[in-house]
Amino acid sequence: MRQAARARPARDFTLGDPVRDEAEALDPWVDMYSVRPELYSCAMATEMPVTEARERFSELVETSAHEPVFLTKRGHRQAVVISTAEYERLLEADEDAADLAASDAVMAEIMAGAPTIPWAQVKADLGLA
């Protein structure tokens, strides 16, 4: 018989490996959704004043393909330029986090006793039965 699903904690989709406690490390969902390619190494972030970025725009774009470039104004970070691959990875991670949150909410409702739709009715509604 299948074990009852337990609610999964919210995921951390920041760069680097998430910190997991021992019980969470045994959860197969954690491993499946926490593995992601690391495009950037954040050990050395490049900073560039906005005025300099205007003058060296092509270099800025080239550098952003390998690492994030923070644009500063009066010494304070105002924006960051990242590669399209990194941007798409971040969008996908955000979508995955939203999907997991929605799944966790539905599972919590079911565990709290919310009614479910029988599989036979789902198939009939879709014209598969």
Looking at the domain assignment, is residue 11 inside a domain? no
C-alpha 84/C-alpha 39 separation (Å) is 11
What global pTM score does this model have?
Answer: 0.55
Euclidean distance between CA atoms 30 and 32, whole angstroms: 6
Instruction: Tell me, yes or no, whether 76 lies in a domain.
Output: yes
* pLDDT the model gives residue 10: 46
65-85 exposure pattern, b = at least 16 Cβ within 10 A, e = fewer: eebbbebbeeeeeeeebbbee
Residue 35 lies in a domain: yes
Query: What are the tokens at 67?
Result: 């690492």
Alpha-carbon span 47 to 57, nearest angstrom: 13
* Predicted pLDDT at 121: 95
CATH number of domain containing 86:
3.40.1620.10
Is 6 among the domain residues?
no
The token duo for 9 is: 């904690």
pLDDT tens for 7-26 read 444 444 444 444 444 444 55
Residue 53 has pLDDT above 70, yes or no: yes
At 11 the pLDDT is: 46
pLDDT of residue 16: 43
12 or 73, greater pLDDT: 73
pLDDT at 56 over 70: yes
Residue 64 counted as domain residue: yes
- Residue 12 domain-assigned (yes or no): no
Least confident of 9-18, 64-73, 95-104, 110-119: 9-18
Q: Does residue 77 carry a pLDDT above 80?
A: yes
**Residue 10 located in a structural domain:** no
For the residues 31-45, what does the mean pLDDT come to?
53
Question: CA 30, CA 34: separation in Å to the nearest integer?
Answer: 6
Domain that holds residue 103: 22-125
Count of domains forming the chain: 1
